[in-house]
Amino acid sequence: MSGSLLLLPFLVRLDGRPHADWQQFLGRFHPLIVHVPIGLLVLVPLLEISGVFRPALREAAEFVLALAFISCLGALTLGFLLAYGSGDTGTGVTHHMWGGIALSITVLLCLLARPWWLLGNETRLYPATLAAMLLVLLWTAHQGGSLTHGNNYLTEYMPVSLKRWVALGNLQANTPGADTFYARHINPILDANCVACHGEGKVKGGLRMDSYELLMKGGKDGPVIVSGHPERSLLLERVTLPADHKQFMPAEGRPPLKPEEIAWLKAWVQQGASPTATTLKGIFIQENAKEAPLKPVGDYSGMMSEILQMESGQGAKLLPVSSKPSDGLILNTVDVAASFGDVQLAQFQKFSPYIVEAELGRTAVTNASFDTLSKFSHLRALHLEGTAVTGEGLMKLAPLSQLTYLNLSGTKVTAAAVAPLDSMKSLRHVYLYNTPAQPATAADSITQPIAKTAQ
Ligand code: HEC
């Protein structure tokens, strides 16, 4: 009977399809039950050793070992039901399964070798088998842990020096094929959100997404991508279902894909799901925006009294970024936002060589301030969210070569007004949430150019 259990994987193939619910129901007790044999098996060598001083303990060892063997078979059965019932396959699953089988066999060998050892024959065989059993136990438990927690669970927070020492340093996922749209955008989305369940180690639904070929091959229900037809592609159907739908992906309550990620996937499928295309029509991602070398900020410490005077007269503040004057100042208007307008901003112009960030969100500034702002030559971040600016004159900001962040969310800027921002090479983050310029839905952004990454 126990022998036939060990043959189970040969009799019933893991075919990557979910089977009866009762199998999954029982199978899900595997992670719980599996701790019984682990506990018992670790106890065995302890009992044998302490048996040197207390013979009664050594007598107990045999009983514990037998119990462990029975619980091993139980855990093995439940584990198999779990994998078969849920349709899990993959090297991680098979490694763990063969580990469990090997463990059961070594436990059986321990049981067989032990009587000889007690009689004083073959005194080394039992201790050796016991040691081997513990090693198999360790390996199998680790495989199981990787399945539930992911491969890098143990090493994720390992100190870097130790990682390097055990040569894990270069195990970071690298994207193949370098410069194609697939390699730069599609593969990373799938890698971060799907491959944990659809990769080499674990293959849910018979679908792997860790390479272009495997992705195109599809899953248990056939191809998941139909080139040119996002609306007929199962992959897109699954990621755009309502998040509480049983078939929604990523499964098990993981965070949904971001709207722009879905837009990229859709556009990529629409335009042929090519492994070699480098760009897609209508999709603009300013990913290689190059931050210009930082212009050093002059020392403002000589102007402190003037700065303080300005602050007390005005209410807006100039806060140092850090204790180093060369890191610059932040113009902070939060306490006086409602009364801080174009005139007030103009008064700060003389400090502009020191201001690296201007927090003008929800102030009363208007388009008229673009003139003033164009002289803030060291500006790296500009907050204009919730202001009355409409984008007219926005391109006066073009000479700001240090500007990498521009927030226009909640303003009335239009797509036409922000389109020329594409020419500002250092500008990496443009926020257009809740503006007429924001693509209304993820789908629209395929046909309309997204100015930078609209969020
Ligand atoms: C937590 C695990 C998990 C994650 C993460 C996950 N999936 Fe799945 N996926 C499953 C399971 C389980 C199935 C099989 C059951 C089913 O079809 O719903 C499946 C099935 C699928 C199928 C159907 C395959 C077929 O041929 O029937 C598609 C398509 C799919 N997933 C896409 C994705 C995409 C895209 C992502 C990432 C955005 C993702 N999955 C992330 C667990 C997961």
What is the residue-level pLDDT of the chain in tens, covering all 455 positions?
A: 566 667 777 777 777 778 888 888 999 999 899 999 999 999 999 999 999 999 999 999 999 999 999 999 999 999 999 998 888 888 888 999 999 999 999 999 999 999 999 998 888 999 999 999 999 999 999 999 888 776 667 776 777 677 666 654 443 334 445 678 898 889 989 998 999 899 888 899 999 999 999 999 999 999 999 999 999 999 999 998 888 889 999 998 888 887 778 888 988 998 899 998 887 765 555 555 555 677 778 888 888 888 888 888 888 999 887 777 888 899 999 889 899 999 999 999 999 999 999 999 999 999 999 999 999 999 998 999 899 999 899 999 999 988 888 888 889 998 888 888 888 878 877 777 778 876 544 333 333 344 444 43
- CB 57, CB 103: distance < 8 Å: no
Residue 215: CB within 6 Å of ligand 1?
A: no
Domain count, the chain: 3
Residues 198 and 306 in one domain: no
* Residue 293 placed within a domain: no
Residues 58 and 189 in one domain: no
CA Rg value for the chain = 32
∠ CA 238-241-246 to the nearest 5 degrees?
A: 80
Residues 327 and 382 in one domain: yes
Domain end marker among 212, 247, 270: 270
Q: Ligand 1 mean position to 301 CA, how many Å?
A: 59
If we measure between CA atoms, which residue out of 356, 361, 345 comes closest to residue 402? 356
Residues 191 and 149 in one domain: no
The minimum-distance atom of ligand 1 relative to the CA of 86 is 12
Residues 161 and 307 in one domain: no
- How much is the pTM? 0.53
Domain end marker among 113, 137, 165: 165
Residue from 238, 239, 268 to probe ligand 1 pocket by mutation (most atoms less than 8 Å from CB): 238
Residue from 197, 221, 234, 258 to probe ligand 1 pocket by mutation (most atoms less than 8 Å from CB): 197
Residues 261 and 157 in one domain: no
Alpha carbons 323 and 329: distance in angstroms, whole number: 10
Residue 202: CB within 6 Å of ligand 1?
A: no
Residue 309: CB within 6 Å of ligand 1?
A: no
Residue 41: CB within 6 Å of ligand 1?
A: no
Residue 199: CB within 6 Å of ligand 1?
A: no
Residues 110 and 61 in one domain: yes
Residues 342 and 248 in one domain: no
* Residue 128 placed within a domain: yes
Domain hosting 135: range is: 2-165
Residue 91: CB within 6 Å of ligand 1?
A: no
CATH number at residue 315: 3.80.10.10
* Residue 64 placed within a domain: yes
Residues 239 and 321 in one domain: no
Alpha carbons 333 and 313: distance in angstroms, whole number: 13
- CB 78, CB 30: distance < 8 Å: yes
Residues 192 and 336 in one domain: no
Question: At 421, is the secondary structure helix, strand, or coil?
Answer: helix
In the numeric block, the tokens 């019932």 are attached to: 85
Tokens standing for residue 103: 């463990």
Residues recorded for the chain: 455
In the numeric block, the tokens 């143990």 are attached to: 154
* Residue 171 placed within a domain: no
- CB 266, CB 230: distance < 8 Å: yes
Burial class of 137 by CB neighbour count within 10 A (0 to 12, 13 to 18, 19+): buried
Q: Ligand 1 mean position to 249 CA, how many Å?
A: 6
